[in-house]
A and B are shown apart, each in its own frame.
Chain A
Amino acid sequence: MNFLKQDNLLITEPALKQEPIVLQINGVEYRDYTTATKTLSQFLRETAGLTGVKTGCNEGECGACTVLVDNKPVNSCLILAFQAEGRQIITIEGLLGADGTLSPLQQAFLDYGAVQCGYCTPGMILAAEGLLREIPNPDDREIRRALAGNICRCSGFLNIIKAVKSVASQTDTPVVA
């Protein structure tokens, strides 16, 4: 957003109103007519109101903003919203059942003591969900590698790894796409 830094030249909203950005999030379509410079995390939090998406560093280091884009974990602070057009985006809210029940992975995080302050949790769960969608039964090393881009400062990761493993071992049969 370098152009915003130029002296006395703050590009006003109307100038930026062009084509809307249209995103498919948790199976619902969202449109936004504002700036094209919005990151995906800003779009998700501000436009779509999905505040389960957290931001912690805006440089792709902490992973708190992780969401699934076409089933792959992505730091939503590092891509622009329009880059996700035409893709299926899933946030933590999208893992819940229709009646608000937790997904098996969310429930496992709770049961195994993998949740403390809860700030890294949505991103951590989605990083793990992305792994499980790619490798339904990962080993310890694969789980640790898949979580390497997510920082948890409370739990020391071990119960998170246990939680992921517990769900992995339940899904012995490959998921049919």
Chain B
Amino acid sequence: MKHIANPLPILDGHEKASGQLAFAADMKIAGLLHTKLVFSTVAHARIKEISIEKALGIPGVAGIFHHGNTPDNTYNSTIWFEDQEAPQDEQMFPRTVRHVGDRVAAVVAQTQEIADHAAGLITVEYEVLPAVFDVVSTEKTCMENAGSDEVSIFEKPVLEATFDYGNYRAAFDNAELIVEDRITTPKTHHCAIENHICIAMPQDDGRILIMSPCQSIFAVKFVAAKAMGVPASSLRVVKTPIGGSFGGKAEPVLDPLCAYFAKTLGQPVSICFNRNEVFTATRTRSKAIGHIKTAVDQLGRILARDSDILIDVGAYCTGGIFLPDSMAQRLCRLYDIKNQRYRGRSFYTNTPPAGAYRGYGSPQIHAMSEINLDHTARRLRMDPVEFRMKNLIHPNSVDPVMGLEVGNSRIRDCVEQGSSHFNWRRRWSASGKGNRFRRGVGMACATHINGCFPGFHEATTVTLLLREDGCIDLTCALHDLGCGSNTVIAQIVAEVLDILPGQIEFSEVDTDICDYDLGTRASRMTYIAGEAARRTAMGLKEQILLAASLMLNCAVGNLVMEEGKVSGNCEPGRCVSLGDLALHESVRGKLLTTTQTYRATANPGSYAAHFAEVEVDILTGAVKVLDYLAVHDLGRAINPQLVESQIHGGIQMGLGYALFENVDIDPDSGCMNADRFSRYHLVNAPEMPPVEILLIEKGEPTGPYGAKAVGEIATIPAAPAIVNAVNHALDTNLTELPLTPERIVDACRIP
């Protein structure tokens, strides 16, 4: 292997480190108009009147948009193919606003200053309606409304997913011990450093071109078309470089509006959110409340589990229809539990909408499960590692919900090797003592998916073309979110063709050039797109060898393709460079190119176990993470350096989820308290602990060179590992995330 397992720096690193990569906000577009949105200041209200006269009188204002002059088509911003079913509850500008930060109007003007100024002159009269900020209240109302046809969709559950297998009742009846917890995970924010932005402009051919940092150009196209009420063919979408997303830019929030403004005004328009707007008017991670009940026998075998999860999707459904099932799917692929019942329900509240966010339900459900299991181990007086080892699944298990094989799942290796490497037993037995500063260790396991199979058109189409300079053009709607997925794809293609990764040139991600693709979601880049690229490269290699065989007059079996050329052993020294071969073919009217579509046939699990040691200051409630080990079963690391960076970043996000991060909706007003960086604390450089990484590379048969995903799972076990460590240090059972200093001090208070 020349390029697989090579810690190659990301291919676009030079442009990034030199500041030369042009993000959407850096693009110079002649005649570009700027937008300022007017947002609802109340959590739930009917708009009685919008006064725009003063704003219209400001020189430089090009247009003012609101519910009275925009399409009232309903849509769901989560869809990524045209006929995808999802509750359509969003509108460009709703007549009834449903959260503080909902869209009321927009001013488009010659400069941002003029737009900001004019937007401040718009006044809105509201007829305030009752608002609900906690999902428990919504659940109660929905239960009361059950069966009534009179209520709106917002007063009904978004979705209920259930499963039930084995005989959990009997198992609970016969259990030695039942441990029950109510665990809550907070509403959090992605905090990509690039704010949300969109640019749209009319093209000469009458279509509207949308350019934005997105996770799926086709999702943008179909969502915008639906919202605008225009054929999707009248829109063209191009992805711009993306300054971080983590799911936050998966759903097109600004694109439908921006495209409509550009179409109406016949001029290029941009919408560039500021940080506060990104917090309050885009997407969040859903808040969830779980009741988990685990039944065990004396030996620590899990007999049965009952999980009841309430998911707060916020003001609009978006992907809230998928969450209950997603959580169920991930919950059942980690432990071998013979009897299990699950009920996951998502409900609306009058808070900013939830949406995709790294892990899509996994961080919530695994935090709940892992915190409860640690509690169970404590009650059994059993080492949590030993307890988990008694119950973790084995390779090639079949998940009881979807009936899919989990693949070469190596979670047992993760826990075994990790606990030994971390000196778990010694540290676990030693900690807890101390006066003001208490030390503890915690660990947690997790699993996540690899792609969308068996649903949602899980396929990727890649086109490769050998150019006359020996480089390869790769055409595919690959949305590198900044973590270097294109570099990984290039390494895979380079490995097959034995050229340099830098010789692979990626096409623009443009709906006019690329075949349909789901985009970057569901941990599908390396596993699905990587395999698609590998297979296409194999196809191109076949063509190259065939052409070279004719040119060199040598049987394919006697040809060797290496280092950018093909040589045959029929005539010593006779060889042709790939570039010359392409030239030779092109003058004969033949291009060396192939297009292949790879349809996924499996959805194996990626696995991880994280171990942490913390020191808790019981006087201030501050938690310091002293040491950290992340063990990942990722099949094979195509690029160990990028894998390392993904894991580090995942831990940064997970520590925040455990300890600080919460957008914190005010229970009286519905306003977001932590609505900017100065009020929303993230783990920064001084707080980041030393991290050691151990990779379990035993190969996934269906993955490219044995690889599977790491990006999303990197963050999933981090929060429960930290919470478990704090509970170990303090001998508490804290279950409400994040473990803020206030909560910790409260728990340590002597009654």
A8 at the interface (CB under 8 A from B): yes
When C-beta atoms are compared, the residue in chain A nearest to B654 turns out to be A156
A85 at the interface (CB under 8 A from B): no
Q: Does B645 lie within 8 Å of A52, measured CB to CB?
A: no
Interface 1/0 per residue, A151-162 and B, CB below 8 Å = 111111111110
Q: Does A51 lie within 8 Å of B26, measured CB to CB?
A: yes
Interface 1/0 per residue, B630-645 and A, CB below 8 Å = 0000000000011011
Interface 1/0 per residue, B239-250 and A, CB below 8 Å = 001111010000
B560 at the interface (CB under 8 A from A): no
Which residues of chain A from 1 to 31 have a CB within 8 Å of any chain B CB?
A: 1, 4-5, 7-8, 10, 12
A120 to B481, CA, bound (A): 14
A115 at the interface (CB under 8 A from B): yes
Total count of chain A residues near the partner, CB < 8 A? 61
Which residues of chain B from 686 to 738 have a CB within 8 Å of any chain A CB?
A: 686, 688, 690-691
With both chains docked as a complex, state the minimum distance between the C-beta of A38 and any C-beta of chain B, in angstroms. 10
Residue in A50, A102, A111, A118 whose Cβ sees the most chain B Cβ within 10 Å: A118
Which residues of chain A from 110 to 125 have a CB within 8 Å of any chain B CB?
A: 110-111, 113, 115-122, 125
Q: Does A92 lie within 8 Å of B18, measured CB to CB?
A: yes
A102 to B243, CA, bound (A): 21
Q: Contacting chain A: which of B8-16, B93-101, B373-381, B505-513?
A: B8-16
A64 at the interface (CB under 8 A from B): yes
Specify which of B15, B121, B686 is in contact with A144 (CB 8 Å cutoff): B686
Q: Does B58 lie within 8 Å of A56, measured CB to CB?
A: no
A57 to B190, CA, bound (A): 14
Specify which of B18, B190, B686 is in contact with A93 (CB 8 Å cutoff): B18
A118-B241 contact, Cβ under 8 Å, with A54-B193, A154-B482, A159-B644: yes
Q: Does A116 lie within 8 Å of B484, measured CB to CB?
A: yes
A76 at the interface (CB under 8 A from B): no
A125 to B16, CA, bound (A): 11
Q: Does A151 lie within 8 Å of B19, measured CB to CB?
A: no
Q: Does A154 lie within 8 Å of B649, measured CB to CB?
A: yes
B191 at the interface (CB under 8 A from A): yes
Q: Does B678 lie within 8 Å of A151, measured CB to CB?
A: no
B488 at the interface (CB under 8 A from A): no
Which residues of chain B from 661 to 689 have a CB within 8 Å of any chain A CB?
A: 676-678, 682, 684-686, 688
With both chains docked as a complex, state the minimum distance between the C-beta of A39 and any C-beta of chain B, in angstroms. 12
A137 at the interface (CB under 8 A from B): no
With both chains docked as a complex, state the minimum distance between the C-beta of A6 and any C-beta of chain B, in angstroms. 9
With both chains docked as a complex, state the minimum distance between the C-beta of B8 and any C-beta of chain A, in angstroms. 10
Q: Does A117 lie within 8 Å of B19, measured CB to CB?
A: no
B457 at the interface (CB under 8 A from A): no
Q: Does B18 lie within 8 Å of A117, measured CB to CB?
A: no
Which residues of chain A from 65 to 117 have a CB within 8 Å of any chain B CB?
A: 91-93, 95-96, 100, 102, 106-107, 109-111, 113, 115-117
Q: Does A102 lie within 8 Å of B14, measured CB to CB?
A: yes
A167 to B562, CA, bound (A): 36
Q: Does B58 lie within 8 Å of A10, measured CB to CB?
A: yes
Q: Does A148 lie within 8 Å of B649, measured CB to CB?
A: no
Q: Does B677 lie within 8 Å of A113, measured CB to CB?
A: no
List chain A residues, Cβ under 8 A from B243. 54, 117-119
Which residues of chain B from 154 to 207 have a CB within 8 Å of any chain A CB?
A: 190-195
A151 to B686, CA, bound (A): 11
A147 to B193, CA, bound (A): 15
Specify which of B54, B244, B274 is in contact with A119 (CB 8 Å cutoff): B244
Q: Does A148 lie within 8 Å of B114, measured CB to CB?
A: no
List chain A residues, Cβ under 8 A from B134. none
Q: Does A118 lie within 8 Å of B483, measured CB to CB?
A: no
Q: Does B645 lie within 8 Å of A107, measured CB to CB?
A: no
With both chains docked as a complex, state the minimum distance between the C-beta of B379 and any C-beta of chain A, in angstroms. 34
B275 at the interface (CB under 8 A from A): yes
A117 to B487, CA, bound (A): 13
A132 at the interface (CB under 8 A from B): no
List chain A residues, Cβ under 8 A from B483. 116-117, 154
When C-beta atoms are compared, the residue in chain B nearest to A113 turns out to be B641
Q: Does B642 lie within 8 Å of A113, measured CB to CB?
A: yes
Q: Does A153 lie within 8 Å of B117, measured CB to CB?
A: no
With both chains docked as a complex, state the minimum distance between the C-beta of A37 and any C-beta of chain B, in angstroms. 9
With both chains docked as a complex, state the minimum distance between the C-beta of B249 and any C-beta of chain A, in angstroms. 11
Q: Does B19 lie within 8 Å of A122, measured CB to CB?
A: yes
Q: Does A110 lie within 8 Å of B117, measured CB to CB?
A: no
A35 to B450, CA, bound (A): 52
A91-B9 contact, Cβ under 8 Å, with A7-B54, A117-B194: no
Q: Does A156 lie within 8 Å of B17, measured CB to CB?
A: no
Specify which of B12, B113, B641, B686 is in contact with A118 (CB 8 Å cutoff): B12
List chain B residues, Cβ under 8 A from A47. none
Given contacts A117-B243, A152-B649, 18 further A-B contacts (CB under 8 A): A5-B120, A7-B121, A54-B25, A57-B677, A59-B678, A106-B17, A110-B14, A117-B194, A119-B193, A143-B685, A144-B685, A147-B685, A151-B677, A153-B652, A156-B651, A157-B684, A159-B645, A160-B685
Q: What would be 12 A-B contacts, judged by CB atoms less than 8 Å apart?
A: A4-B117, A54-B23, A59-B676, A61-B676, A62-B193, A64-B193, A106-B18, A119-B193, A144-B686, A148-B685, A156-B645, A157-B685
Query: Chain B residues in contact with chain A, CB under 8 A?
Result: 7, 9-10, 12-23, 25-26, 54, 57-59, 113-114, 116-117, 120-121, 190-195, 241-244, 246, 274-275, 481-484, 641-642, 644-645, 647-653, 676-678, 682, 684-686, 688, 690-691
4 closest A-B pairs by CB = A52-B19, A117-B482, A118-B16, A156-B648
